[in-house]
Structure 1
Amino acid sequence: MRKFNIRKVLDGLTAGSSSASQQPQPQQHTPGSREPEVQETLQSEHFQLCKTVRHGFPYQPSALAFDPVQKILAVGTQTGALRLFGRPGVECYCQHDSGAAVIQLQFLINEGALVSALADDTLHLWNLRQKRPAILHSLKFCRERVTFCHLPFQSKWLYVGTERGNIHIVNVESFTLSGYVIMWNKAIELSSKSHPGPIVHISDNPMDEGKLLIGFESGTVVLWDLKSKKGDYRYTYDEQNISCCAHQTSQCKTNDMAISCKNIRC
């Protein structure tokens, strides 16, 4: 029979109690002591400020157009922004990459398309028949500055007037320039010996779709025949021309707010 040794048992209990006393005890936080800092993983570069909602009328508006069939209002701004308004509560925001001011907008009526003319002499064709409007084509004028554009109803020809007094014709379907150009010296002929200034107005004649009413800044107004490539009528006003309107009579508004009317019926 094996002999039991009580001394070895007591030595084992003493060693176990001493090792247990040497283990780290959990820290107890007293009231008012600082909590341990948590390591943050998010940095400032993980955040970016962006606009999610826009209220009110666009800031610094510079151009306006309306589609009477689809009831869409387009507003361009001096910062190159484009806002589209439909029924109440429906609107869309777009931005031209160049940031140049929008000087004119022209709807392709009831076709879901829009032409924008910018101050950097660039024309853009927008596709509005998708959830997010996008630019389909762009056309840059390098030698002349764009001052006025006109797109007749259901026409594929866009008339672009320039600062030099010339009118270029753009095919909207391909968004390319045609070979037809109305030169300022051919339009005025001998009605004036000096340059008539930039184009400030272009409109088609409601009595004859083959004729254009052209207004120059100097006050000269020309009724141009597209087929014969010559001017049928020419009028010269003493005041600077601001705007024209082709109706059964030609109406012109001058710089001193006077309105003159001329009969253009044959």
Structure 2
Amino acid sequence: MATNLWKYIRSKGHGPEQDARQKTAKELLSFKSASKAKRLLDFSFQTSQYGFPNRPSALAYDAKLNVIAIGTRSGSVKIYGAPGVECYAQHDNDSPVTNLIFLPGQTGKFLRFPGRFISVCEDNTLYLWEINSQDNRTTIECINRSVLESRLKKISAVCLSSFYDQLYLGTEGGNIYVLDWNSFVFVEAAVIHLDAATQSTEGIARVAPGPVEAVAEHPTDSDQLLIGYSKGLVVLWDLKEKAVCSFLLGAASKPTESLEKPNVVYGPFPCKPIPKMLWRTTKGPNPFLILSGGMPRSRYGDHQTVTVMQGEKHVVFDFTSKVVDFLTIGGKLELPYLFVIHSSSITTSHYVGDVSPELWTSLTAAGRAAKRVPSSRKSPGRYPAVSLSSITPPKTTRCC
């Protein structure tokens, strides 16, 4: 038995036989990879992208262009316009997309489908994309890129200025960097350093307030920036004076100030984190408060929820998969599809060509009946994604 054990240990060593075996394995793997790449190259003209992307990681909507952008963990970006119309782009480094930001009011080279947006990847690379249309073909072109290097500069929060000329980037090191998107370079003079932002604070937050969790511009004063850190420190920063206006650390920064009583939605027992929260005003006195997560761990730890509150109204939406991101558009809308294919997992699919007109009429009638909304509840507006109209003329042959 000892002899067999000694042979096993020697077989796991780095002798000549083991090195030869590893070299053979590498050569075989490289041969397989080359063969696979050749096959993909030979048949690349037969492949295409369609449908909802796999492993989504970021979401953005442009109200002017009426398009939706979705980034994925594989480094791709898909733009959805009118029903059946999609555009696809791929980052050259295949790094996961963490943020997508549309630049309102920006135009491309060809004014038929203007639009620009910025994508932020997990490796701290930022890309500037442009949606263009020429010769009845819509494309997404990468026109610029920039990298925020250093391990302590890993981007953790993003905020676009109200004038759409600068992008504030919060990092895990605690600093705020500013990107001028016109030149797509970082403005060194505009960096908000952690030491300067915490010089008026006290206690542990001044020593280690943690990464930047959120950055937001003042809604009525574009010269003020609200910065939130992971340890609970919140700083109001004046961009002109380059100084702290006020701060909050578990208590009021001034003795004369009064704090509102915290609103414990699902307490007092331990609850799940709240990754995202939105505050939306209305014409009435009660605004909307929308948040993801926050449910009690003991009973709803495995639930994926989005909570909507307005005054005394309280509604919780429970989803079957993780909520990556969400946004608000407004109005009740009728989906322009036969049915929502992602309401449950897809296990199989089948293609049928040359569908008879009778069957096609029955299918469309069933779809209209299923998605019919009472006129009192129907939104007067169109479905959000309506841009980038189809450039292919309709065919007489139908398939399903």
TM-score (norm 2): 0.49
In the alignment, is residue 202 of structure 1 matched against residue 215 of structure 2? Answer: yes
CA contact (8 A) 2:235 2:247 kept: yes
Q: Alpha-carbon deviation of 1:55?
A: 3.5
- What letter is aligned with 1:137? N
Structure 2 match to 1:126: 129
Residue among 87, 99, 104 paired with 1:104: 99
Residue among 53, 59, 67 paired with 1:58: 53
Residue among 86, 93, 118 paired with 1:91: 86
- For 1:224 and 1:218, locate their aligned partners in 2 and report how far apart those are by CA, in whole Å: 18
**Mapping for residues 46-195 of structure 1, pairs under 5 Å:** 47-49=42-44, 52-111=47-106, 112-130=115-133, 131-143=138-150, 144-178=153-187, 179-189=189-199, 190-191=201-202, 192-195=205-208
- For 1:222 and 1:79, locate their aligned partners in 2 and report how far apart those are by CA, in whole Å: 35
- What letter is aligned with 2:170? G
CA contact (8 A) 1:206 1:246 kept: no
CA contact (8 A) 1:203 1:246 kept: no
CA contact (8 A) 1:148 1:201 kept: yes
What do the CA deviations read for 1:91-127 (whole angstroms, capped 9, x no partner)? 1011001000001011101321110000011111111
- For 1:134 and 1:188, locate their aligned partners in 2 and report how far apart those are by CA, in whole Å: 41
- What letter is aligned with 1:107? F
CA contact (8 A) 1:116 1:123 kept: yes
SS in 2 for 1:193: helix
- What letter is aligned with 2:141? A
What do the CA deviations read for 1:5-26 (whole angstroms, capped 9, x no partner)? xxxxxxxxxxxxxxxxxxxxxx
RMSD: 3.2
Out of 79-88 and 182-191, give the one that drifted further.
Answer: 182-191
Q: Alpha-carbon deviation of 1:198?
A: 1.2
- For 1:146 and 1:73, locate their aligned partners in 2 and report how far apart those are by CA, in whole Å: 23
- For 1:221 and 1:227, locate their aligned partners in 2 and report how far apart those are by CA, in whole Å: 19
- For 2:174 and 2:40, locate their aligned partners in 1 and report how far apart those are by CA, in whole Å: 52
Q: Alpha-carbon deviation of 1:77?
A: 0.3
Q: Alpha-carbon deviation of 1:50?
A: 5.5
Distance 1:72 1:99, change over 3 A: same
- For 2:67 and 2:58, locate their aligned partners in 1 and report how far apart those are by CA, in whole Å: 14
Q: Alpha-carbon deviation of 1:53?
A: 3.6
- For 1:174 and 1:224, locate their aligned partners in 2 and report how far apart those are by CA, in whole Å: 25
Q: Alpha-carbon deviation of 1:234?
A: 1.0
SS in 2 for 1:208: coil
Q: Which runs of 5+ in 2 are unaligned?
A: 1-37, 107-114, 252-269, 282-286, 297-400
> What percent of counterpart residues are identical?
32
Q: Which runs of 5+ in 1 are unaligned?
A: 1-42, 259-266
Q: Alpha-carbon deviation of 1:48?
A: 2.2
Q: How many residue pairs end up in the alignment?
A: 216
Out of 76-85 and 178-187, give the one that drifted further.
Answer: 178-187
CA contact (8 A) 1:203 1:245 kept: no
- For 2:149 and 2:86, locate their aligned partners in 1 and report how far apart those are by CA, in whole Å: 34
- What letter is aligned with 2:191? V
Q: Alpha-carbon deviation of 1:254?
A: 11
Distance 1:222 1:44, change over 3 A: closer
Distance 1:194 1:53, change over 3 A: same
Out of 234-243 and 178-187, give the one that drifted further.
Answer: 234-243
Q: Alpha-carbon deviation of 1:171?
A: 0.8
**Counting strand residues as a fraction of each chain, which structure ranks higher?**
1
- What letter is aligned with 2:69? A
Distance 1:203 1:257, change over 3 A: farther
TM-score (norm 1): 0.71
Distance 1:223 1:46, change over 3 A: closer
